[in-house]
Structure 1
Amino acid sequence: MDFITIPLVVGMITLGIYKLFDLFVRKKERLAIIEKIGDKFDSSMIENKFSFPLNFKFEGGFGTLKVACLLLGVGLGLLVGYFICYGTIPGYYNNGDYSYRTSEVIYGASTLLFGGLGLLIAFLIEMKYRKDKKEH
């Protein structure tokens, strides 16, 4: 797995630098918007308009469900990929003399397959919930 460390580190550093620049650009944009509307703002416009909602309702955000099903699918895909490699490639676990290409294809395919199945399951659960909510 040494072949993946360099691209992974370069990707993480690139993403960090991009997010840092994005943060500063957004801060400047927000300050410009605040300055633009600052002259037109009157404190009487928001007086007694803010209140804390006491009853919380679930409005249907399924982001956590999607991420959870995706990660479960990826984990299951890696596990299935390991068992496929262990069962089909002779000497996979003992001496390490196995075909790297074969194991890479098996791991990649099973990870993508089960990750996609996890997202499909999340979609079906979401659709069932929305259908049940419409009927009631």
Structure 2
Amino acid sequence: MQEEILIPLIIFSTIFGVAYVYLTTRNKERLALIERGADASLFNSGKKRGLGSIVLNLALLAIGIGIGVLVGAGLEQGGMHADVSYPASIFIFGGLGLVVSFFVDRKLEKE
């Protein structure tokens, strides 16, 4: 009975703790750089990813996972065990979807 309450509490508190430490450390680093006279544009030098790029990555990942499920079902019908065929094909085609997403994103950046 206690595990039903304790496990989600531990998970969410861990996520909160990691996010809190990350944000406070980043803030302290930025304040220290500003105190030393660093230019504020230093913080904006990172690559900006738009919503379209994130949606593209997720869409191609979902397409890869869907193809992986279909291939896994085909392999299962061909005689391979479902415990092997589904996870293997999902990871392979999900990874291929992410690789395709990387190249498409890189091509869009050049334009």
TM-score normalised to the size of structure 1? 0.50
CA RMSD of aligned residues (A): 3.5
Which residue matches 1:111?
Answer: 94
Taking the aligned partners of 1:63 and 1:11, their CA distance within structure 2 comes to 29
Q: Is 1:76 aligned with 2:59?
A: no
Residues 1-136 of structure 1 correspond to what in structure 2 (within 5 A)? 14-28=14-28, 61-90=48-77, 98-127=81-110, 129=111
Contact 1:70–1:116 under 8 Å retained in 2 = no
Q: Which has the higher helix share?
A: 2
Question: Structure 1: which 5+ runs fail to align?
Answer: 1-9, 38-59, 92-97, 130-136
1:117 is displaced (CA, Å) by 0.2
Per the alignment, residue 41 of structure 2 pairs with: none
Q: Look up the SS of the partner of 1:89 in the other structure.
A: helix
* Residues paired across the two proteins, number: 91
Whether contact under 8 Å (1:74, 1:111) holds in the other structure is: yes
Question: 1:126 deviation in Å?
Answer: 1.9
2:24 is matched by which residue type in structure 1? F
Q: Kindly report structure 1 stretches of 4+ aligned residues shifted beyond 6 Å.
A: 31-34
Paired AA for residue 120 in structure 1: F
CA distance in 1, matches of 2:49, 2:23: 26
Looking at both structures, which has the greater relative contact order when contacts are Cα pairs under 8 Å and sequence separation is at least 6?
Answer: 1
- Identity within the alignment, %: 19
Q: Radius of gyration: which is bigger?
A: 1
